[in-house]
Amino acid sequence: MNVGHRDGHAKRAWDIVWAWPALTIVKGEFKVQDSVIATFGTATVRGVKQAAACRFSAIPYAEPPVGARRFLPPVPRALQGNVDATRPGPVAPQLPSRLADAMGDFDAVQSEDCLHLTIWTPAPDTARRPVVIWLHGGAWQSGGGAIDWYDGSRLVSEGDVVVVNINYRLAALGWLCVPGEPANVGLLDCEAAIDWVADHITAFGGDPARITVMGQSAGGSNIASLLTRQPRFHRAIIQSGSMGRGYRTRAQADTLGLAFLKALGVTSLDEARALPVQALLDAQRDSGVMAALAQEGSGRSLFCAVLDGTVLPLAIDADLAAAPGKVDLLIGSTEDEMAAFPGLGRDADSRAYGDRIFAAPAAAWAQAARAAGRNAWRYQFAFGPSERFGACHCIELPFMFGNVDAYAGAPMLEGMTAADADRLVAQMLPAWLRFIRGDSPGWAQAPALQTFT
Considering Cα of 223, then 228, then 231, then 235, what sign does the dihedral take?
A: positive
Tell me which of 116, 136, 200, 393 is the catalytic residue: 393
Q: For residue 43, give the CATH number of its domain.
A: 3.40.50.1820
Please report whether residue 70 resides in a domain: yes
Please report whether residue 235 resides in a domain: yes
Contact assessment for residue 97 and residue 411, using Cβ atoms and an 8 Å cutoff:
no
Please report whether residue 230 resides in a domain: yes
Please tell me the total count of domains within the chain. Answer: 1
Neighbours of 85 (CB within 10 A): 25
What phi-psi label fits residue 128: left (phi over 0), alpha (psi between -120 and 50 degrees) or beta?
left
Is residue 333 flagged as an active site residue?
no
Residue 78 CA: distances (Å) to CA of 8, 16, 62, 200: 8, 18, 8, 11
pLDDT in tens, the chain (453 residues): 444 444 333 332 323 333 334 444 444 444 446 899 999 999 999 999 988 899 999 999 999 999 999 999 999 999 999 999 999 999 999 999 989 999 988 889 999 999 999 999 999 999 999 999 999 999 999 999 989 999 999 999 999 999 999 999 999 999 999 999 999 999 999 999 999 999 999 999 999 999 999 999 999 999 999 999 999 999 999 999 988 677 999 999 999 999 999 999 999 999 999 999 999 999 999 999 999 999 998 888 999 999 999 999 999 999 999 999 999 999 999 999 999 999 999 999 999 999 999 999 999 999 999 999 999 999 999 999 999 999 999 999 999 999 999 999 999 999 999 999 999 999 999 999 999 999 999 999 999 999 999
What phi-psi label fits residue 69: left (phi over 0), alpha (psi between -120 and 50 degrees) or beta?
alpha
CA–CA distance, 121 with 55 (Å, rounded to integer): 7
CA–CA distance, 290 with 22 (Å, rounded to integer): 49
Contact assessment for residue 104 and residue 149, using Cβ atoms and an 8 Å cutoff:
no
One-letter amino acid identity for 79?
Answer: L
Domain with 447 in it: 2-249+306-452
Tell me which of 57, 97, 142, 217 is the catalytic residue: 217
* Cβ neighbours for 35, distance < 8 A, ≥ 6 positions apart: 19, 20, 21, 22, 46, 47, 48, 49, 86
Please report whether residue 294 resides in a domain: no
Is residue 217 flagged as an active site residue?
yes
Is residue 393 flagged as an active site residue?
yes
Please report whether residue 378 resides in a domain: yes
Tell me which of 112, 191, 335, 337 is the catalytic residue: 337
Please report whether residue 268 resides in a domain: no
Contact assessment for residue 330 and residue 379, using Cβ atoms and an 8 Å cutoff:
yes
CA–CA distance, 34 with 50 (Å, rounded to integer): 8
**3-state secondary structure (DSSP) of residue 154:** helix
Contact assessment for residue 296 and residue 237, using Cβ atoms and an 8 Å cutoff:
no
**3-state secondary structure (DSSP) of residue 126:** coil
Please report whether residue 15 resides in a domain: yes
Please report whether residue 254 resides in a domain: no
Q: Kindly provide the residue ranges of all beta strands, DSSP E only, lying in 13-85, ordered along the sequence.
A: 21-26, 29-40, 43-49, 54-60, 81-84
Considering Cα of 216, then 228, then 58, then 63, what sign does the dihedral take?
A: negative
Please report the DSSP string for 318-359 in residue order. Answer: HHHHHGGGGSEEEEEEETBGGGGSTT--SSHHHHHHHIIIII
The model's pTM is 0.92
